[in-house]
Amino acid sequence: MAAAPVVLILGSGPRIGASVAQGFASKGYKVAVASRRGTGAKTPEGYLSLQADFAKPDSIPALFSSVKAEFSSPPSVVVYNAAALTPPPDKDSPLTIAADSVTADLNVNTVSPYVAAQQAVAGWETLPASTKKAFIYTGNILNLSVVPVPIFTNLGMGKSASAYWIGVADAAYAARGYRFFYADERAADGKSKGADVDGPAHADFFAQLANHEGNVPWLATFVTGKGYVHFE
């Protein structure tokens, strides 16, 4: 009997993170979740709960080591769901954000997921070729649309940078069967969902991405109830 696959969810908030964890668990995955509130023990749902500080990229490899130690396998699916932004002190001036805050937010939005992807690939190379492998980054429209609102400056920089390396990685590792996705929930008309995101819709779509269903490209825009939808 084949061992159950493992998913590691980095950033396990009450909406997307919780829904995605529940969705993968319902499909037979062993689930590990990492957040600032992680305990190092099991949650009531049976997930491995890990403490994480995504502003410190050098802390990421230890999370993967803990998952492998607990489940005797690296995660075949990694979901990066953490995000950060720092409002500018002058709400009308994006360049008033201190450089150390820009660095900290870029660590959360870009550098830590990059390190997580490195760790994912290292683990995937030890898994059977038949195992579906996927790295899924929770994105938004900011990689494609410059929203002239200063509060989004650091978040937009991070999402844009991550979208680029995710696209490169998806192409570079295609021959190995490794998939990388920038998942962006949209309204039916293609506009941003903003804060009105749908947790269960993310869970359904991420499960599809993890199973490599539907020939979805790396820029994985989706709509509740429809799944992948291409927007110009």
- Residue 119 identity (one-letter amino acid): Q
- Among this protein's residues, is 30 annotated catalytic? no
Question: Running DSSP on this structure, what letter comes out for residue 107?
Answer: I
Distance CA 194, CA 191 (A): 9
Choose the catalytic residue: 56, 159, 191, 193. Answer: 159
- Write b or e for each residue in 186-223: b if 16 or more Cβ atoms lie within 10 A of its Cβ, otherwise e: beeeeebbeeebbbebbbbbbbbbbeeeeebebbbbbb
Report DSSP letters for 133-198, one per residue: EEEEEE--GGGT-----GGGHHHHHHHHHHHHHHHHHHHHTGGGTEEEEEEEEB-TTS-B-TT---
- Beta-bridge mates of residue 135: 78, 180
Q: Which residues are catalytic?
A: 159
